[in-house]
Amino acid sequence: MLARNRATLDPVRAWCHQNDVAYRLSERDSSGPKFHQTREACRLLDLLRHKPNHRRKAATLSRWFEARFSDAQRANPWLVMLAQFIEELNCVWGDLAVPSSTIIDELYEFGTDAARSEQGRLTLSTVHSAKGREFRHVVILDNGDWQDASDDERRLYYVGMTRAKELLLMCESAGATNSFSARLSDAGIARLPLPQDIERPEALGWRYVSLGLADVDLSFAGRRPSGHAIHRALERLDYDSPLRAVRTGKRIELCATENRQAVGAIAKNCRLPAGQIIAIHVDTLARRLKKQSHPDFAHQLKVEAWWVPLATVTIAPNREGQGCQVGSRSNSHASVEVAAGPSVEVP
């Protein structure tokens, strides 16, 4: 699904979350980690780096994957990518034993190919970010975004149209004129009437913000010694684990729900949409190394490597009330408290 502006994609993203529809944001629209930075990929990288000259077969890696991760864990989209990577190794090399160093290079290359993670997932992207790419089916959204009839906008709309290989669906806003779709006439174009009296659920106004590496305090856990409880709490986190939002002074800390241990913090320069934080769920954990930090701050770090939790924050705009509980995505009958005392509000 393509849109002129990122804000037009927000209700679609909310709908995907609330209906368990797998989706992905275009890499150019996302500040998320690279595949090789995620804990899921690091598990394999650690295995390979232990003996970089050792030759391994894809079948051996498949058995390692089956033994290392449970069926429940494999719903994790990063593990889906890891399984896909191992499967591609098997297709390319078959029974050939390959040096671990070569597999490492292949994993880094695999992670840079945006098309790898699209299978079975809906892609949400701005038209700008979709340049140079193609999809079987494309929907161009219109939230009053295409009123400017300038040549630049016309060319941009054309870029969106030509991303489709098989089917193109162009939407028109009921409250604004689309400067381009109305001019199109061809035997291959079927025009459908606009539906009337569409009810917009309030929950489509929720915002789902994926915290990237630029949105969190990268050194939060690194400033604690290796024996600190934060490192044990980070190891226990997994994909979709709930976190608590706790305001401490001017910052918002991310805390594990089971023991309230702070495991991270939102960066001071991260600007979340105004509203009330009602849920936070872990997307992945990214590995951070001391040598990656700025030399001016290296003296504050107590460990050589640590995990940084990256999560999706659910925000209900203009929501009122004190305490707040939300249903867990893994168990619709369970509830997860996401704030200590009053729910955290973002001004």
What separation in angstroms does the CA of 231 have from each of 11, 41, 43, 264? 36, 19, 16, 11
**Inter-residue contact 69 to 147 (CB < 8 Å):** no
What is the spatial distance between Cα 128 and Cα 126, in angstroms, rounded to a whole number?
5
- Among 298, 305, 252, which residue's Cα sits nearest to residue 277? 252
**Inter-residue contact 222 to 302 (CB < 8 Å):** yes
Backbone angles phi, psi at 194, to 5 degrees: -70, 135
205 three-class SS: helix
Domain boundaries, the chain: 2-22+120-191, 35-115, 205-316
2 three-class SS: strand
pLDDT at 73: 82
- Among 273, 281, 283, which residue's Cα sits nearest to residue 207? 273
Q: Kindly give the parts of the chain with pLDDT less than 70.
A: 27-30, 112-120, 318-347
pLDDT tens digit string along 269-310? 998 888 999 999 999 999 999 999 888 888 999 999 999 999
- Among 274, 262, 261, 244, which residue's Cα sits nearest to residue 345? 274
**Inter-residue contact 65 to 107 (CB < 8 Å):** no
- Among 254, 278, 291, which residue's Cα sits nearest to residue 343? 278
Amino acid residing at 60:
T
pLDDT at 120: 64
What is the spatial distance between Cα 317 and Cα 200, in angstroms, rounded to a whole number?
15
Q: How many other C-beta atoms can be found within 10 angstroms of the C-beta atom of residue 291?
A: 10
Which alpha helices (H) appear in the chain, and where do they start and end? 6-18, 39-50, 58-68, 77-93, 100-112, 151-161, 229-236
Exposure string (b/e) for 111-142, b if CB count within 10 Å is 16 or more? Answer: beeeeebeeeeebbbbbbbbeeeebeebbbbb
pLDDT at 241: 95
What separation in angstroms does the CA of 39 have from each of 17, 44, 159, 170? 23, 9, 36, 39
Count, residues in the chain? 347
pLDDT at 197: 72
**Which stretches of 127-179 are assigned E, i.e. beta strand?**
135-140, 164-170
